[in-house]
Amino acid sequence: MHVIETGNTAAALAVKLAGAQVVAAYPITPQTPLTEKLSEYIEAGEMDARYVPVESEHSALGVCIAASSAGARAFTATSANGLLYMHEQVHWAAGARLPLVMCVANRAVGAPWNIWNDHQDSISQRDTGWIQMYCCDHQQIIDDTLKAFRVAEATSIPVMVCYDGYLLSHTYMPFAIPDEDQVAEFLPPFRPSYALDPGSPANLNTVTLPEVRLDVNGELAHGYMEIRYLLQEDLRNAVQVVEETDAAYQAIFGRGGAPLVEPYRCDDAEYVVVGMGSITYQLRDVIETLRAEGHRIGVLGVRLYRPFPDAAVAAAVRGARGVFVMEKALSYGYEGALCSDLKSALYDHLGELGTAPSVKGLVAGIGGREIRTADLADALRSGLAGSVPDPNWIGIQL
C-alpha cells in the first residue's frame, strides 16, 4: 500500500510492523511526532507493546537496555541534545551487545539553542560502537528501520537509523508500506541468546578485569579487552550483514540494492560529490545542471556510515580526479568526519585505486541554514575550476 505521509510516520509504521515490544521515549523536537504516533498505535490497540513515557533520554535508553537484556525487542527515538544526554547509555548499549534500534531525527546541538537540521548529533556518536544508517527519503526510513531490527538481532549490535529533522521528519512524501505478512517472513520474533531469567541466573555487565581470567570451570574467560575487540570485529563484519539483510529485503519487497553507498552517475565521473542524507538527493539536481554545462560529475550517498564501508566508498570514486565531501557536521578542530573517513579509505585502498583523487571538504546546512541548490552549484563550479570557496562553509556570511 502506498501512502503520502511524513518521515516520522514512516519510522513509526516500521516500528509497529517490526513488533517492537517495549518503546521508551522522551519528547524532543523534531522526533516528537514519531513517539506520538507510537503512543496512538499502542493506546488504540493496533500495536501490542509497552510504552514507557520516561522522564529523560538517559532513562529512555536505560529502559530499552534493560528491556532488551530481559528479552524484549526494544525501540527508542531522539534528536540533538536528547541523544547527547543519552551518550553514556549509547556506549553502554553497544558494549552490552544489545540489539536495540533507535531512530534519530537529526538536529543541530546546543549551544546556542537551535532546533533545525544538521548531523552533529549522530556524528558525535560515531565512536560508540553502534551501526549507523542515513536515510535520503521516506521510503528508506521505513525500509531501513525494518532492516535495522534484523541487522541488530543478527549482529547483537544496536542500530541507529538517522534521518534529517524537518527535511524528512516533517515533510510529506509518498512511500510504500510493507505488507504485514511479508514483514513476518523478513523479521521473525526476537530470540535473544540470553535473557535475564531466574531459572537461569547470570550477572550481566559485571566489573571485568584488564586481564583474562579463569572461570569456575577452569576455562579462560574474556577480559575487558577481548570483549571490546569482539565488538570491533563484529562491527566490521556487520558490513556484510547489512548487505545480506538488504538482499533478503529486496527479494521479498523488491526495493533496495544499495545498502552501503548509493552512487548516482558516478560511472564516468571525473568528479564525485559525497554526502549523507537528504542533501545527496538535492545534489542529484545540482549535478544534472553541472553535467549540462559539460562537467562529468556524479553523487555518492553514503548510506551506512558505521561500520564505514571503506571498500565500497573507495571503489565508488575509483577513476575520479576529484572528490568533494559535503557535510552537515564537523569534528571541530579539524574537518568533517566523513571527509576524514573517506580520505582514510582512499589511503587504505590505494593499491586497488592506483591513484587517489584530490579530496575537498565542504560544509553546508549547519543549524538548518538553507541549502540553496544554486549555492551548491556555485561552490562545486568553483571547486571544479580548481579551488573550493574559502571559507568552505556554503552560504556563510561573516
188 binds other proteins (CB under 8 A): no
209 binds other proteins (CB under 8 A): yes
88 binds other proteins (CB under 8 A): yes
d(CA 314, CA 301): 13
- Phi, psi of 282, rounded to the nearest 5 degrees: -65, -40
Grid cell for residue 194? 540470553
Q: Contact at 8 Å (CB) between 109 and 57?
A: no
Q: Contact at 8 Å (CB) between 26 and 78?
A: yes
d(CA 43, CA 131): 31
Closest CB 42 distance from other proteins, rounded Å:
11
Judged by CB under 8 A, which of 6, 8, 9, 21 binds other proteins? 21
Q: Which residues of 230-248 are buried (b: 16+ CB within 10 A; e: fewer)?
A: ebeebbeebbebbbebbeb
Q: Contact at 8 Å (CB) between 124 and 239?
A: no
Task: Name which of 248, 313, 223, 325 is nearest 283 in CA terms.
Answer: 325
Region from 120-128, 133-141, 191-199, 365-373 binding other proteins, contact rule CB under 8 A: 191-199
Judged by CB under 8 A, which of 65, 102, 242, 359 binds other proteins? 65
125 binds other proteins (CB under 8 A): no
- Phi, psi of 336, rounded to the nearest 5 degrees: -60, 140
Closest CB 23 distance from other proteins, rounded Å:
9
Judged by CB under 8 A, which of 14, 38, 72, 339 binds other proteins? 72
Judged by CB under 8 A, which of 22, 108, 142, 151 binds other proteins? 22
- Phi, psi of 264, rounded to the nearest 5 degrees: -130, 115
Residue 103 gets which letter from DSSP?
E
d(CA 394, CA 105): 23
Task: Name which of 327, 335, 392, 340 is nearest 366 in CA terms.
Answer: 327
Site string for other proteins, 215-254 (x = CB under 8 A): xx----xx--------------------------------
Residue 288 zone, left/alpha/beta (φ > 0; ψ -120 to 50; rest): alpha
58 binds other proteins (CB under 8 A): yes
Q: Which is nearer to other proteins, 32 or 208 (CB)?
A: 208
Q: Which is nearer to other proteins, 88 or 267 (CB)?
A: 88
Judged by CB under 8 A, which of 3, 42, 70, 176 binds other proteins? 70
Q: Which is nearer to other proteins, 81 or 208 (CB)?
A: 208
Judged by CB under 8 A, which of 17, 34, 64, 304 binds other proteins? 64
200 binds other proteins (CB under 8 A): yes
Region from 17-25, 118-126, 145-153, 285-293 binding other proteins, contact rule CB under 8 A: 17-25
Closest CB 317 distance from other proteins, rounded Å:
40
Rounded to the nearest 5 degrees, what angle is found at the Cα of 130, between the Cα atoms of 366 and 37?
70
d(CA 398, CA 92): 41
398 binds other proteins (CB under 8 A): no
Judged by CB under 8 A, which of 43, 46, 113, 213 binds other proteins? 213
Q: Contact at 8 Å (CB) between 323 and 270?
A: no
Q: Which is nearer to other proteins, 63 or 136 (CB)?
A: 63
Question: Which residues contact other proteins by CB under 8 A?
Answer: 21-22, 24, 48-50, 52-56, 58-60, 62-72, 74, 88-89, 92, 195-198, 200-209, 213, 215-216, 221-222
